[in-house]
Copies of this chain bind each other. A is one copy, B any other.
Amino acid sequence: MKAAKPPKVTIRDVATASGVHVSTVSRALDPARRQRISKEVLALVEETARRLGYQPNRAASALRTGRTHTIGVLLPDITNPVFPPILQGIEAAAAARGYFVFVANVGDPQLAQPILARMKAQQIDGLVMAIALREDPLIDFVRDSGMHAVMVNRADESGRLPAAVSDDRLAMKLAVDHLVALGHRRIAHLAGPQTVPTGVGRRQGVEQALRDHRLPAPRIVECDSYSREAGQQAMRVLLESSGKRPEAVVCCNDLVALGAYDVLRAAGLRIPRDISITGHNDMPLVDMVDPPLTTIRLPHRELGWQAAEMLFQAIEGQALLASTVVLRPELVVRASTAAPAAA
Which residues of A are at the interface with B, using a C-beta cutoff of 8 A? 2-6, 55-60, 62-63, 68-70, 77-79, 81, 83-85, 87-88, 91-92, 95, 98, 100-105, 115, 117-123, 143-146, 258, 261, 283-286, 288-290
Contact = CB atoms under 8 A, between A and B. Distances in A.
B105 A6 contact: no
A289 B2 CA distance: 48
B79 A91 contact: no
A100 B115 CA distance: 10
B104 A95 contact: yes
Contacts of A83: 84
Contacts of A285: 258, 283-286, 288-289
A144 B3 contact: yes
Nearest to A3: B144
The 8 closest A-B pairs by CB, nearest first: A290-B290, A59-B62, A285-B285, A5-B146, A288-B289, A78-B84, A59-B63, A100-B102
Given A285-B286, A289-B289, 7 more contacts: A55-B121, A78-B91, A84-B84, A87-B103, A100-B104, A100-B118, A288-B288
Contacts of A145: 6
A277 B314 CA distance: 52
A78 B151 CA distance: 20
B146 A57 contact: no
Contact of A122 (B58, B115, B120, B283): B58
Contact of A59 (B77, B84, B95, B123): B123
Contacts of A59: 59, 62-63, 68, 122-123
B81 A105 contact: no
Nearest to A56: B121
Contacts of A283: 284-285
